[in-house]
């Protein structure tokens, strides 16, 4: 069943007054202008079909208003909405993230235009335009945005003001001036909120980047193959001052998120479980290190500790069964705590190796070539230790390359890395090594954190930057 057109609705509400009918059409024109202005910074970053869809529906919707065409009913709109959602999901393999999220917003705005008949519908679209305007800063912060953003806010707010009117529309020049005065009056409140309201810790450019690019740092998930251009961030992650001896550079592994869940392509954290046994204790074979660590805000629950943590002074913090140091609430401001770690050379476990079934799991039908390689190499090795040494030797001796600009990988990411591209950075190698270990029946997981530190001779402390972010593999060997 078709819905009435804008002209029909205007006649029902205002009678045959041509002035009021013109007002309804003019309000929709302002909405479409706001959509164009807000969507412009995203058009070159999303898949080409998205701006084509938006432009086609916008033109059709404006023509429908002018000519009084009937709007499609729910039997058309609902399938189109489902198809639009699935198209974004197929194109980006997700609906979250800067690129996929922007594309989804643009598609939903286009589909919302199809059913826009009343003031409320138009206002909803304008509010979504505000989200689009500021979503652009999650992708990039170019110089031209300093001019474009105020202008786009001015146009979008003018569209909102015009759509809140019940009488004739104001002329473009006068309406823009009125909106400008409103924005100027809001600046004092904006400044108060800017200085007093809590803000996201760290710059926006530390968030995952679109188009296969990324910035070094830690996350609760790792998907080797998604990032094709990794930038090294100089942002400080934390500072450390050692009380006593300082570990050698090769021992500066700062343990962070532990990724145990593997879906065939991506690694993620499992729900943290506190350790049932006390942390590792000192013994004559363990080198002990004490340090004071000042952690920058990261908005996450994890804390950093030198391998292997034994004691800490951070309040409301606990050690998980994965030897990950966590706190009960996110780190939203700089905190300092004292830590103590022992270089054990191994990470003790709360459970016998027979109970490690969850970190032996590989999804069915995932990375079959890696499974076959693991079976072949394990059959040629005398024991598990020799097998792992053979895998390490393969990476050293065969033409594998470390690069910050690796090719994009598909669904069978480990297979493609091992046999096709042979190029990647630490997360590619850590993921492949863990999969090969699991394929041979060995419990394995990926550990992320930081490796190394830079000494500041003036303050006599060490600086760990986001460029020190690293990933490595942890394998349980029953014979060691």
Q: Report whether pLDDT(160) > 70.
A: yes
Beta pairing class for 267-268 and 309-312: unpaired
CA gap 404, 376 in Å, rounded? 30
Tell me: the pLDDT tens digits for 12-25?
444 444 555 566 67
Q: 85-94, 130-139, 154-163, 285-294: which range is least confident on average?
A: 130-139
DSSP H or E segment with residue 35 = helix 18-39
Q: Please give the average per-residue pLDDT across 343-357, as a whole number.
A: 59
Q: In sequence order, what are the beta bridge partners of 424?
A: 402
Residues 6+ apart with CB under 8 A from 78: none
pLDDT at 45: 76
Cβ of 323: how many Cβ atoms within 10 Å?
21
DSSP structural state of residue 420:
I
The answer to whether 293 and 299 are in contact (CB under 8 A) is no
Structure tokens at 62: 């404006």
E strand spans, 47-115: none
Q: How far is CA 332 from CA 135, 312, 423, in A?
A: 22, 19, 36
Higher pLDDT, 284 or 444: 444
Q: Which of 378, 390, 380 is nearest to 438 (CA)?
A: 378
Cβ of 235: how many Cβ atoms within 10 Å?
15
CA gap 57, 77 in Å, rounded? 12
The answer to whether 464 and 240 are in contact (CB under 8 A) is yes
User: How many secondary structure helices (H) and strands (E) does the chain include?
Assistant: 12, 19
| Residue 412 preceded by cis peptide, ω within 30 | no
The torsion angles phi and psi of 424, rounded to 5 degrees, stand at 175, -175
Q: Please give the average per-residue pLDDT across 142-161, as a whole number.
A: 83
pLDDT at 295: 93
Tell me: the pLDDT tens digits for 36-84?
888 888 887 788 898 899 889 888 888 887 777 788 888 888 888 899 8
Q: Report whether pLDDT(156) > 90.
A: no
- Whose tokens are 């700062």? That residue is 254
CA gap 344, 308 in Å, rounded? 7
CA gap 160, 175 in Å, rounded? 11
Beta pairing class for 325-327 and 213-215: unpaired
Q: In the structure, what pLDDT confidence band is assigned to residue 392 with cuts at 50, 70 and 90?
A: very high
DSSP states along 157-225: HHHHHHHT-SSPPPPHHHHHHHHHHHHHHHHHHHHHHHHHS---SS-GGGSPPSTTEEES---SEE-TT
């Amino acid at each position: 069943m078709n819905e009435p057109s804008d002209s029909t609705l205007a006649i029902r509400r205002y009678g045959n007054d041509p002035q009021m009918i013109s007002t309804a059409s003019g309000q929709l024109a302002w909405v479409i202008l706001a959509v164009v202005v807000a969507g412009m910074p995203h058009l070159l970053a999303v898949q080409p079909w998205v701006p084509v869809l938006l432009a086609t529906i916008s033109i059709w919707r404006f023509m429908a208003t002018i000519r009084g065409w009937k709007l499609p009913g729910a039997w058309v709109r609902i399938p189109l909405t489902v198809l639009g959602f699935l198209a974004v999901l197929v194109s980006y393999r997700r609906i979250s993230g800067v690129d996929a999220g922007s594309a989804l917003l643009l598609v939903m705005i286009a589909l919302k235009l199809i059913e826009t008949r009343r003031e409320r519908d138009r206002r909803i679209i304008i509010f979504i335009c505000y989200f689009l305007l500021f979503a652009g800063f999650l992708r990039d912060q170019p110089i031209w945005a300093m001019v474009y953003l105020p202008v786009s806010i001015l146009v979008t707010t003018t569209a909102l003001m015009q759509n809140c009117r019940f009488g004739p529309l104001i002329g473009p020049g006068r309406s823009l001036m009125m909106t400008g005065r409103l924005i100027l009056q809001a600046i004092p409140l904006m400044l108060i909120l800017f200085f007093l309201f809590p803000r996201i810790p760290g710059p926006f450019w530390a968030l995952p980047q679109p188009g296969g690019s990324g910035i070094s740092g830690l996350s609760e998930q790792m998907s080797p193959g998604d990032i094709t251009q990794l930038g090294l961030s100089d942002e400080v992650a934390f500072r450390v001052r050692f009380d006593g001896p300082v570990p050698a550079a090769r021992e500066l592994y700062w343990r962070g998120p532990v990724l145990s869940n593997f879906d065939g392509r991506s690694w993620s954290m499992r729900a943290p479980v506190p350790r049932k046994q006390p942390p590792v204790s000192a013994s004559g074979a363990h080198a002990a290190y004490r340090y004071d660590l000042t952690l920058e805000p990261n908005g996450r629950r994890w804390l950093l500790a030198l391998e292997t943590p034994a004691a800490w002074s951070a309040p409301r913090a606990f050690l998980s069964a994965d030897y990950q140091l966590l706190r009960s609430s996110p780190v939203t401001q700089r905190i300092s705590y004292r830590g103590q770690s022992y270089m054990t050379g191994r990470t003790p476990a709360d459970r016998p190796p027979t109970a490690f079934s969850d970190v032996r799991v590989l999804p069915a039908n995932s990375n079959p070539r890696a499974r076959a390689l693991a079976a072949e190499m394990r059959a040629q090795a005398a024991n598990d230790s020799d097998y792992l040494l053979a895998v390490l030797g393969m990476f050293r001796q065969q033409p594998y390359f470390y690069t910050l600009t690796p090719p994009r990988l598909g669904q069978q990411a480990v297979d493609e890395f091992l046999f096709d591209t042979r190029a990647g950075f630490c997360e590619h190698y850590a993921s492949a090594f863990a999969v090969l270990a699991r394929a041979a029946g060995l419990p394995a997981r990926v550990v992320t954190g930081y490796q190394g530190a830079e000494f500041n001779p003036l303050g006599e402390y060490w600086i760990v930057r986001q460029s020190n972010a690293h990933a490595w593999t942890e394998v349980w060997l029953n014979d060691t």
